[in-house]
Amino acid sequence: MSSPVDALQRLRQMHEDAVLAALRSAGALSRAQLTQHTGLSRTTLFAIISDLIERGAVVETEAVPTGPRGRGRPASLVALNPAAGLLLGLDMGRRRVRMAIANMAHQVVATETEDVPAGAGVEELTEAAVRLVRRVAEEREIRLGALKSVGVGLVGVVGEPDLPAETVSARYAPMTRRIAEEFGVGVMVDNNARLAALAEATWGAARLVRDMVYVRWSVGVGGGFLCGGRLLRGAHGAAGELGHVSLDPRGPLCHCGGRGCLEGRVGGQALLEACAARGVALAGVDALVAAAQDRVAEVCEVVAAAATDLGRVLAGTVTQLDPAQVVIGGELAALGSLVLGPIDAEISRQALPRSPRRIKVVPADLGANASAMGAIALLLHEEPPVPLHLQPAAF
């Protein structure tokens, strides 16, 4: 039987954990905001913050004024101590590895990218990531010994931690093991499109909403759903796989095993092939975006038609999830109204058109580094990091 002293210590630890979790998730907060986030009384909260400051776990900073400065002392903010450690986020894309390093106070201290050959294997991707991190750390004098954990974004279906151990993908297990051994810290993984959604919810276009649908439109098509402020993964880690919604059950076979998938019609490779069929040969998605920005008629027609197809799929998603916002990320989002207009039009036309609600369709804020930053957000939201298991048929 525990003593009253033990019970009080456990209660205090719970309160302290709640404060640290709020700061990890939201970044710097005022004491009033922390009271709202944690539900703690003012007296209890102030005592916990004083203790955390004394131990060096958090620091107090002055709020940056956003308008005309009034009388009196500016409100102070409480944040995790930037010197308490670093977090590394990696985005293992099909043709690029991206990285971001941030401190515990949500401050990004470095971002960088390295291209990899098309069709690169897991070992090649892993070694490219390790080289990239080591090079950036040396160039910018970042002490990797301060790393606390690593988050990794992967293409495909990434399962939940409570799946049986035998479902760990043999394809990706060597990657997480190699990274963990290289840097001597725990590694946590998730789908890279879902991580981009989490980044937008933490720092970007969806930071003020609790219900959001995110689409990453690039070489592939993926997504992520935020419901009630929580990222959805689903029972098997497949939530957000918008690119594998079938538009035609008799259509071409997709690499996921299905037929007529959205990604096969509007993914980067499909768009390049459609442009080539119209006499416009382009080297890649970046070149396609540039041609559309230059208003090459054939390219604009292909992209606008693809945006309409994407909008039809999103209309069904919006009908079911009722988000406040639809956020479009990936390289194609840079085309602005050329893609946002048709997507918005299809959602308005098909997703409960007689409803008085208004769902905003907006571009993502964080650009190409969203998934790497989302991997950091994963660590901030869900520490301590525990490696997630991967479905064996990851595609």
pLDDT at residue 74, rounded to an integer: 59
Q: Which of 375, 390, 301 is nearest to 90 (CA)?
A: 375
Kind plus residue range of the DSSP H or E element containing 391? none
Query: Given phi > 0 = left and psi -120 to 50 = alpha, else beta, which region is 229?
Result: left
Q: Which of 94, 170, 183, 91 is nearest to 376 (CA)?
A: 91
pLDDT at residue 163, rounded to an integer: 40
Spatial distance between the Cα atoms of 90 and 98, rounded to a whole number of angstroms? 6
pLDDT at residue 389, rounded to an integer: 36
pLDDT at residue 161, rounded to an integer: 44
Tokens of 103: 């401190």
**What string of DSSP letters covers 175-209?**
HHHHHHHHHTSEEEEEEHHHHHHHHHHHTSTTTT-
pLDDT at residue 171, rounded to an integer: 67
Spatial distance between the Cα atoms of 374 and 91, rounded to a whole number of angstroms? 9
Spatial distance between the Cα atoms of 252 and 260, rounded to a whole number of angstroms? 5
Q: CATH number of the domain at 207-364, please?
A: 3.30.420.40
| Long-range contacts from 63-69, C-beta under 8 angstroms, 24+ separation | 63/30
pLDDT at residue 167, rounded to an integer: 39
Residues of the chain with CATH 1.10.10.10: 4-64+71-82
pLDDT at residue 295, rounded to an integer: 96
pLDDT at residue 95, rounded to an integer: 81
| Bridge pairing between strands 86-92 and 96-103 | antiparallel
pLDDT at residue 10, rounded to an integer: 78
Using a 10 angstrom Cβ sphere, with 0-12 exposed, 13-18 middle and 19 or more buried, the burial of residue 323 is buried
pLDDT at residue 168, rounded to an integer: 38
Residues of the chain with CATH 3.30.420.40: 85-195+371-382, 207-364
Q: For the CA atoms of the chain, what is the radius of gyration?
A: 23
- This prediction's pTM: 0.78
Give pLDDT tens digits along the chain (395 positions). Answer: 555 656 777 787 788 878 877 887 777 888 898 888 888 988 888 888 888 887 777 788 876 555 555 555 557 888 877 777 889 999 998 788 999 999 877 788 899 999 988 778 888 999 999 999 999 999 998 888 889 899 999 887 776 544 433 333 556 788 889 999 999 998 998 999 999 999 999 889 998 899 999 999 998 999 999 999 888 988 888 899 999 999 999 999 998 889 999 999 999 999 999 999 999 999 999 999 999 999 999 999 999 999 999 999 999 999 999 999 999 999 999 999 999 999 999 999 999 888 888 899 999 999 889 999 999 999 887 654 334 433 333 33
Spatial distance between the Cα atoms of 107 and 111, rounded to a whole number of angstroms? 11
Look up the CATH superfamily of 85-195+371-382. Answer: ATPase, nucleotide binding domain (3.30.420.40)
Q: CATH number of the domain at 4-64+71-82, please?
A: 1.10.10.10
Spatial distance between the Cα atoms of 268 and 303, rounded to a whole number of angstroms? 10
> CA–CA distance from 51 to each of 15, 44, 60, 112, 307 (Å)?
12, 11, 12, 37, 53
Q: Which of 279, 375, 293, 360 is nearest to 327 (CA)?
A: 360
Give residue 227's identity as a one-letter amino acid code. Answer: C
What is the side-by-side order of every strand in the sheet holding 221-227?
A: 230-231, 221-227, 212-217, 325-329, 360-363
